[in-house]
Amino acid sequence: MDNANSASQTLQDLWTQVDPVENTGMLRRVVFAQGKFYAAGGNGLPTTTQLVTGDATGTAWTKLKGAVTSDSGKVLNELYWNGLGTTLQGLSQSGNVVQGSIARPLRDWTDLTAAARAYVDLHGIVYYQPIYGDIATWILVGSNGKVFSRYEDWSGTVERTTTFTSSETVYCVNVIGVFVLIAGSNGKLLSAVKMPTGNPQSFATRTSTFGTSTILSMKLCNGKMFIVGADGKMAYSSDGLTWTAVEDTSFGGTIIRDIAYGNGKYVAVGDGGKTAVSEDGIGWVQQANTFAGTDIRSVAYGNGNFVAVGAAGKIAYWTP
């Protein structure tokens, strides 16, 4: 098919770097929630900055209170907003789960670790309403192939059985339609019906098109689920069950870390400071690299801007 982005990206498409916040280390996730951008990371040191907040356009950033106080958990892998309430959840490298209020972001975050600790490196979280019943469900995923289900109030931990082994990592989880999807090491992608925590939940293997390349992120973009990951691979699905590979992502063999959609554009980001743009999610064009080769870990869209974050605490925005 003809490339939907036949016009080459020009120098006007440069991302604008903003002043970083001190001591964030690698920023691993950025989200847009209730009209503002938030990002999470950390350098693991006593003086680390784990959480930062941007304004409505992502052009100015400030430090929030530290969310995790235990030395082993001072790096946040994930920051999540379920799109419904006024709370954000953060997941750490040592199984810590913390929760903060968007309405009062400068207040201390609530440590849910005593109730929800997973004792693994947590990487992904999703919230959903099961196909029946009134109590919502949390799914958390991480290292050692672990997948946990918890009730809405964080009680009742149930470890789900999947084909992920103890040597593999489940990096991402999301929902589409009646299905919850998990993905990670060796290109594994599994689906299950959105069941309540107290009921059995059987995960079936799906063909991800990634082969043995690791899947690192899974995002719902413009009504379709996208997966991205190692070796510059990307695929999409309208139902979470059948997947189509993107033939040329423009990343070559470079890792793609994340993807986002907004204002009629898809944006993918990855290692080496690479960013690419697409109008249909199929034909991709690399943008001019303004990250000086620094790895980018996450991207989000809100209020007309894409915001990307990554190594050395770098934050940048692009207005399509």
Whether 36 shows a pLDDT value over 90: the answer reads yes
Contacts of 96 (CB under 8 A, 6+ apart): 68, 70, 73, 90, 111, 113, 117, 122
C-beta of residue 171 within 8 angstroms of C-beta of residue 147: no
Torsion of CA 22, 23, 28, 33, to 10 degrees: -50
CA distances in angstroms from 166 to 101, 185, 251, 254, listed in the order given: 34, 11, 30, 26
Average pLDDT over residues 256-278: 97
Whether 11 shows a pLDDT value over 70: the answer reads no
Whether 317 shows a pLDDT value over 90: the answer reads yes
Closest CA to 269 of 244, 248, 297: 297
Backbone φ and ψ of 38, nearest 5°: -135, 145
Torsion of CA 64, 70, 71, 77, to 10 degrees: -60
The token pair that represents 311 in the structure block: 């190594």
Q: What's the pLDDT score for residue 116?
A: 62
In single-letter form, the type of residue at position 245 comes to: A
CA 80, distance to chain mean position in Å, is: 8
Which percentage of the chain shows pLDDT scores above 70? 92
CA distances in angstroms from 283 to 33, 79, 112, listed in the order given: 29, 29, 42
Torsion of CA 73, 75, 81, 86, to 10 degrees: 70
Determine the Cα–Cα distance for residues 311 and 288; give it in Å rounded to an integer. Answer: 18
What is the chain's Cα-based Rg?
Answer: 18
Specify the higher pLDDT residue, 182 or 45: 182
Specify the higher pLDDT residue, 65 or 88: 88
Per-residue model confidence as pLDDT tens digits over 164-189: 999 999 999 999 999 999 999 999 99
Average pLDDT, the chain: 91
**6 pLDDT tier (thresholds 50, 70, 90):** very low
- Greatest pairwise CA separation for the chain in angstroms: 54
The token pair that represents 238 in the structure block: 């309208």
**275 pLDDT tier (thresholds 50, 70, 90):** very high
Under CATH, which number does the domain 121-245 receive? 2.130.10.10
Average pLDDT over residues 2-12: 43
Question: Residue ranges per domain, the chain?
Answer: 11-117+246-320, 121-245
**74 pLDDT tier (thresholds 50, 70, 90):** confident
C-beta of residue 147 within 8 angstroms of C-beta of residue 162: yes
Per DSSP bridges, beta strands 305-310 and 179-184 are: unpaired
Determine the Cα–Cα distance for residues 198 and 186; give it in Å rounded to an integer. Answer: 29
C-beta of residue 257 within 8 angstroms of C-beta of residue 271: yes
Q: What's the pLDDT score for residue 135?
A: 94
Exposed e or buried b per residue across 249-264, where buried means at least 16 C-beta atoms within 10 angstroms of its C-beta: bbbeebbbbbbbbbee
Determine the Cα–Cα distance for residues 21 and 29; give it in Å rounded to an integer. Answer: 15
